Amino acid sequence: MRRVEAYDRVPLTVVVNGRSVRQRVEPRMLLSDFLRECLGLTGTHVGCEHGVCGACTILLDGQAVRSCLTLAVSADRGEIMTIEGLAGRPEFARIYEAFTNHHALQCGFCTPGIVASAAAEILDRGLADDAITDVLSGHLCRCTGYVGIRQALEELTVAEGRRGDDGP
Partner 1 sequence: MKPAPFAYWRPETVDEACWALAEAGADAKVLAGGQSLLPMMNMRLARPGVVVDINALSTLEAISRPDASTLQTGALVRQRALERYAAADPALQLFRHALAYVGHPQTRNRGTVGGSIAHADPAAELPVLLTALGGRITLLSRQGTRVVSAEAFFQAPFVTAVETGELLTQVEWFLPPPGSAMVFREFARRRGDFALVAVAAVLRLDQDQRVTAMRLGLGGVDGVPRAVPAATSLVGLPLDSSIIADFAAEVARSLDPPADLHAPAEFRRELARVLVARVLEDARRQVGHVAGERGEG
Q: Determine the longest span between alpha carbons in the chain, in angstroms.
A: 51
CA distances from 29 to 26, 58, 121 (A): 5, 16, 27
Complex with partner 1: residue 90 or 167, whichever CB lies closer: 167
138 binds partner 1 (CB under 8 A): yes
55 binds partner 1 (CB under 8 A): no
Complex with partner 1: residue 20 or 130, whichever CB lies closer: 130
- Looking at residue 106, the DSSP 8-state letter turns out to be S
- The values of phi and psi at residue 98, to 5°, are -60, -45
One of 40, 90, 161, 168 touching partner 1 (CB under 8 A): 168
Binding mask 76-115 for partner 1 (x = CB under 8 A): ----------------------------------------
Q: Is 63 strand, coil or helix?
A: strand
27 binds partner 1 (CB under 8 A): yes
What is the C-alpha to C-alpha distance for residues 54 and 139, in angstroms, rounded to an integer?
Answer: 5
Q: Which of residues 5-24 bind partner 1 (CB under 8 A)?
A: 5-7, 10
CA distances from 112 to 1, 89, 159, 168 (A): 36, 14, 20, 26
157 binds partner 1 (CB under 8 A): no
52 binds partner 1 (CB under 8 A): yes
One-letter amino acid at 14 equals V
28 binds partner 1 (CB under 8 A): yes
What is the C-alpha to C-alpha distance for residues 94 and 79, in angstroms, rounded to an integer?
Answer: 23
One of 3, 40, 161, 164 touching partner 1 (CB under 8 A): 3
List interacting residues with partner 1 (CB under 8 A): 1-7, 10, 26-28, 30, 33, 49-52, 54, 57, 63-66, 68-71, 73-74, 117, 133-135, 137-138, 168
